[in-house]
Amino acid sequence: MYSYEKLQEIAQFIKSKLNCEPQIAITLGSGLGSLVGDIKNSVEIDYKDIPGFPLSTVEGHEGKLVCGKIGNKPVIAMKGRFHYYEGYDISQVVIAIRVFKLLGINDLLVTNAAGGINKCFSPGDLMIIRDHISLFAPSPLRGKNFDEFGARFPDMSEAYSKELRGLLKKASAELGINMQEGVYVFAKGPMYETPSEIRALNVLGADAVGMSTVPEVIAARHAGMNVMGISCITNMASGILNQPLNHEEVIQTAKQAEKNFTCVVKKVIDMWPV
Ligand code: HPA
């Protein structure tokens, strides 16, 4: 656990390196990192050079912040995020989100690779996250409340902004890219789920499953940030097809979907009301 002052120090350090004031933060999921190539006049900061910042340990996840402009919008992207399964304390998983808030950022786009539970989905589909199920996720808000960010018992009735979901629908429709919409459920990982777990999650109302995003969105909402979420369906979840899952397939399918993903993200950033 870190203190509010520690978060302020990290934010101050990052701010001293930036050449613009980012207004939208973007967390890039596994295999979806090439968007950073579209960030102009960028400044890059390796996580390892940020005092007090955790390091990303997963293959397919580099660890750096990239700040600059997409179109005329100043953004900051995380290439490489922190997952609970890597062994971090859950409060460390959301450290970057809180630092973004301290940098004055009120808008967050979270993206991830996810397994498709909804049988209407196919690998390579992009999904607008309508809501999430966090019952199996340890809460990043556990422990003493950071009153500076938000309330002890924050509302989660619109975790993913309705307005931003509408914007994403509009952006994808204008591009002729079909997007699914659904509910993302957090799984602690790092093992993929069993077929029985997936059947259970389906009954609970989940359309896609993954090992990230939910803690970050909870911390962002706690701090009053507006959130948009996009999942890239990289595989059908365990037991839906009669085949084992592996990380290479996840990365490979994300790479294949990356062109559409990048197009949609650039467009929606352009339309974003900041
Ligand atoms: N399960 C959990 N996390 C994932 C999956 C999955 O099937 N695919 C990509 N991330």
Q: Packing angle between helix 95-102 and helix 4-17, nearest 10 degrees?
A: 70
Please name the residue whose Cα sits nearest to atom 2 of ligand 1.
210
Q: What is the CA radius of gyration of the chain?
A: 17
Hey, what's the torsion of the CAs at 82, 39, 210, 171, to 10 degrees?
150
Q: Ligand 1 centre and the CA of 265: distance in Å?
A: 21
- 10 Å Cβ neighbour count for 143? 11
Examine residue 54 and say whether the peptide bond preceding it is cis (omega within 30 degrees of 0): no
- 10 Å Cβ neighbour count for 104? 11
The residue annotated as part of the active site, out of 47, 77, 78, 86, is 86
Q: Ligand 1 centre and the CA of 39: distance in Å?
A: 27
pLDDT score at 102: 98
Q: Which residues contact 162 (CB under 8 A, 6 or more apart)?
A: none
Please name the residue whose Cα sits nearest to atom 3 of ligand 1.
210
Pair 183, 207: CB distance under 8 Å: yes
Pair 264, 179: CB distance under 8 Å: yes
- Probe target for ligand 1 pocket from 111, 125, 240, 250, with the most ligand atoms within 8 Å of CB: 250
pLDDT score at 60: 53
Pair 132, 204: CB distance under 8 Å: no
Pair 195, 238: CB distance under 8 Å: yes
- Closest by CA position to 231, among listed 73, 63, 96, 31: 31
- Please confirm, yes or no, whether 156 is among the known catalytic residues: no
- Probe target for ligand 1 pocket from 58, 127, 234, 243, with the most ligand atoms within 8 Å of CB: 234
Q: Ligand 1 centre and the CA of 22: distance in Å?
A: 30
pLDDT score at 170: 98
Please name the residue whose Cα sits nearest to atom 9 of ligand 1.
114
- Closest by CA position to 114, among listed 272, 235, 252: 235
Give me the residues of the chain with pLDDT under 50, please. Answer: none
pLDDT score at 93: 96
How far from each other are the two terminal CA atoms of the chain, in whole angstroms? 32
Question: pLDDT tens digit string along 198-245?
Answer: 999 999 999 999 999 999 999 999 999 999 999 999 999 999 998 999
- Please confirm, yes or no, whether 247 is among the known catalytic residues: yes
- Show the domains of the chain with their CATH numbers: 4-271 (3.40.50.1580)
Q: Packing angle between helix 95-102 and helix 214-222, nearest 10 degrees?
A: 30
